[in-house]
Amino acid sequence: MRTPLLAALLAVCVTTTAATAAPDPAPASNPVGDPKVASSDDGKYFDANGNPTYKIDKNDKVDWYTFSGYRRFNGTCEVCHGFDGSGSSFAPDLTQSLKTIGYNDFQNIVVNGKQDVNTAQSLVMPAFGSNKNVMCYLDDIYVYLRARADGAQPSGRPAAHEDKPKTAIQNENDCMGP
Ligand code: HEC
């Protein structure tokens, strides 16, 4: 008669966890949030906070934006941050950084740049606010890096991806212009 006892213990654990988790953590103390998909809109996925997130199925097929982010990241950011974001001697490992940098801070850093310059070092992240090849794909790059930081997407090209959604085609045309 082990099973009912185990079930009872599990029930206690679940209740305890639920009780501790009850007061929602303030967004400021947890800017990254749970990457779990809470909603979607034409092939774009969002977490419970409404921030973009990735979706990777059990066959390693990724959503369109994660795949697009992989390509965009490795077109523009990789020169400094290393292949797949894993860092270099002069730019941080983003697969670590994105564990604590949330969506809003990420956008802010990429749009405006970031500097840490002193006598010992000179670290300069350029501002990409006027670079359409980055701005038109900011969410794509974010979800890709989010998947990398969570260990959900290994290094290298995603094995397979969802088709490009109509909305992505439309937004790309609007953003990039003629
Ligand atoms: C010319 C080199 C260079 C390029 C290109 C570059 N970065 Fe950076 N990035 C840096 C450096 C250097 C830092 C560290 C700045 C600091 O410490 O203040 C940084 C910091 C960051 C951070 C904050 C990391 C942290 O731990 O504080 C993010 C996020 C980031 N970069 C994203 C990107 C993205 C996305 C791209 C491509 C669109 C990109 N970077 C392109 C050099 C670069």
pLDDT of residue 31: 84
Give the tens place of pLDDT for each residue, 103-117: 999 999 999 999 999
Residue 19 has pLDDT above 50, yes or no: no
Could you tell me which of 172, 105, 97, 96 has the C-alpha nearest to residue 133? Answer: 172
Q: What residue type is 174 in one-letter code? A: D
DSSP-derived pairing of the beta strands 160-161 and 114-117: unpaired
Rounded to the nearest angstrom, the distance between the alpha carbon of 141 and the centre of ligand 1 is 12
Measured between alpha carbons, how far is 46 from 66 in angstroms, rounded to an integer?
A: 12
Total-model pTM? 0.86
Domains within the chain, CATH numbers bracketed: 31-176 (1.10.760.10)
Half-sphere exposure of 5 (CA within 13 A, CB side): 2
Residue 8 has pLDDT above 80, yes or no: no
Q: Which residues pair with 40 in a beta bridge?
A: 45
pLDDT of residue 28: 52
Give the tens place of pLDDT for each residue, 22-65: 455 445 556 899 999 999 999 999 999 999 999 999 999 999 99
Give the tens place of pLDDT for each residue, 144-171: 999 999 999 999 999 999 999 999 999 9
If you take atom 40 of ligand 1, which residue's CA is the nearest one?
A: 77
* Site to substitute for ligand 1 among 80, 99, 131, most atoms within 8 A of C-beta: 80
- Contact call for residues 109 and 49 (beta carbons, < 8 A): no
